[in-house]
């Protein structure tokens, strides 16, 4: 699966990875699009189905928290890298 915004590729997802976790939890406009780059089987789950699963399987909630935490950590690392680049360019 290719994750993209406009013509820019943001990431490639491997087997077993998830997408759409933010969209199912938050109705804000999506931050990226996803397309299959090879034959793919998907499991689709809407908000009520997800919440029902979370109620019966606590490990699902834990997995969602881990995925969202990983996204946040990656964003913070990207911000840090951009700030370092900006600081270096201001010294020149």
Q: What is the pLDDT of residues 8-60, one digit of tens each?
A: 999 999 998 999 988 899 989 888 999 999 999 999 999 999 999 999 999 99
Q: What is the pLDDT of residues 52-90, one digit of tens each?
A: 999 999 999 999 999 999 989 999 999 999 999 998 888
Residue-level pLDDT at 27: 86
User: Could you give the C-alpha distances from 7 to 70, 73, 91, in angstroms and in order?
Assistant: 24, 25, 32
Question: Cβ(11)–Cβ(3) under 8 Å?
Answer: yes
Residue-level pLDDT at 33: 94
């Amino acid at each position: 699966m290719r994750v993209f915004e406009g013509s820019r590729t943001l990431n490639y997802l491997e087997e077993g990875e998830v997408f759409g976790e933010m969209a199912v939890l938050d109705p804000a406009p999506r931050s990226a699009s996803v397309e299959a780059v090879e034959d793919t089987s998907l499991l689709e789950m809407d908000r009520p189905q997800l919440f029902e699963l979370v109620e019966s399987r606590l490990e699902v909630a834990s997995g969602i928290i881990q995925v969202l935490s990983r996204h946040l950590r990656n964003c913070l690392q990207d911000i840090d890298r951009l700030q370092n680049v900006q600081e270096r360019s201001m010294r020149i």
